[in-house]
Each structure stands twice: as structure tokens, then as C-alpha cells.
Amino acid sequence: MIPSAGRIVEVFVAINLANPLNAIESTPIMTVQTPAAATRRLILGSSSVYRRQLLERLGIPFEVMSPDIDESAHPGEHPAALARRLAREKAQAIANQLPADARHALIIGSDQVAVLGDQAYGKPGSHVKAVEQLQTLSGQTVVFETALCLFDAASARAYEELVSTEVEFRDLSLAEIEAYLAKEPAYDCAGSAKSEGLGIALLDRLSGDDPTALIGLPLIALCRLLRQAGFNPLTGV
């Protein structure tokens, strides 16, 4: 996939020559001048470094733009509906920023909430709130709802999926919670834990269809949506 003609863009490519089957490390950002003949652009509408790192695993050139939307829940809005709406609004917000000659892009929006009962838990944003979240989630089975929207700017069509991951937290002592956050301050993660890092030690069990969903960007679902939109991640067309 090549970005639009005549534009200088930031393109992210992931390569792991030692073992391409393992998690791939990010290479430095490359600035490239695109050729005159252009195809569809792929844009990740997110400021999350975790989502960017996940998308790099596919080895597809892409751009990153940060959406500016209000992420507040509507009154009475169910957590899963909130995640779906925010994923869609993030993608559409990026589409609205594009100039008319760049409206052939495919834009990825994603959002995640941790759900216990009818209560949604997003990013704690601070140490105090992270401790409170983990104390609440301790010993509980929590569902992480990860919403994905692939917005085709050319047709204004949105392809969407919701991927659920069931997570069982261990019974956690306050000392364990404090020790965890001291080593891995997961203040920017829904549920205050990074399952791809030390946060796995907080858990007893996980169950879901896509192991990357819990990190924030379900790649199995994304590849499926890309194919539906007419782009095959394997062949690049």
C-alpha cells in the first residue's frame, strides 16, 4: 500500500529478521517521498503507541493521525456501545481532516473498555485511580470490549467488529498492586494492567478469539475488515 501521490508522509514498517514469527520490534520512523502513481492509504487514527506497535506487526506501510474527539459516555450508554461509537468517531474524525484529494484512505479507529457488570473502566490516568481500579477488579471476571472500525473514506462506509476478551483477575493484595504499578505504571490502559507485560502476573485466566485484542488492536479482525474493504494484507492489493 502506497500513500497518496506527491505527499511526504511518516510511514511505519516493522521488520524482524531474526525471527519474523515473534513479536516484531519497531524500526525508526522513515520519511519517504511517494511516487506519482498512488493506491489506497492506510491511516491509524490513534495516539496509542500500543496500537501503533501492533499494526507494525503486519509489515504494511501506514500513517498515524491523532483524532480529537470527546470520549465521554452518553447517559445510559452501554459500555460495548460506547466502545463501538468511539472507534467509529475516531475514524470519522480523521476522515474529516483529510483534503479532498486524499479521500481514498482506509482509516482505522479502535477503542477499548473494561466491563464489570454494567460499569465501564477506561484509562485510569493516575496512580490513585489505577489502584482503585485494580482493587475493584481484584478477584473478578472482567470483559474487555475492544471495538474496531475501518472507515473507507472513498465510499464513507464503515466496517466494524467488536472483540470480547474475558479476563479473570487474581485476588490481589494492596502490596501487590502497589508493587505492580511501581514497575509498570499502566495509567494509559483500560483496567490498569498491561497483559503483554508484567500485568500478566495479575491474572488467572484469559479467554478470547484474538490475542492482540486485549492489547488494544485486534489484528485478526482488522485483517478480516481490510479484506472486506478490498485490501489483502498478505498481497498488498
Active site residues: 111
Which residues lie across from 111 on neighbouring strands? 147
Looking at the chain, which runs of residues are DSSP E strands? 8-11, 30-33, 42-45, 63-65, 106-116, 119-121, 141-152, 157-169, 203-208
Give which of 118, 134, 145, 152 is closest to 216, Cα–Cα: 145
Q: What secondary structure does DSSP assign to 144-177, as a single string?
A: EEEEEEEEETTTTEEEEEEEEEEEEE----HHHH
Cβ-in-10-Å burial (0-12, 13-18, 19+) of 19 comes to exposed
* Bridge partners (DSSP) listed for residue 141: 168
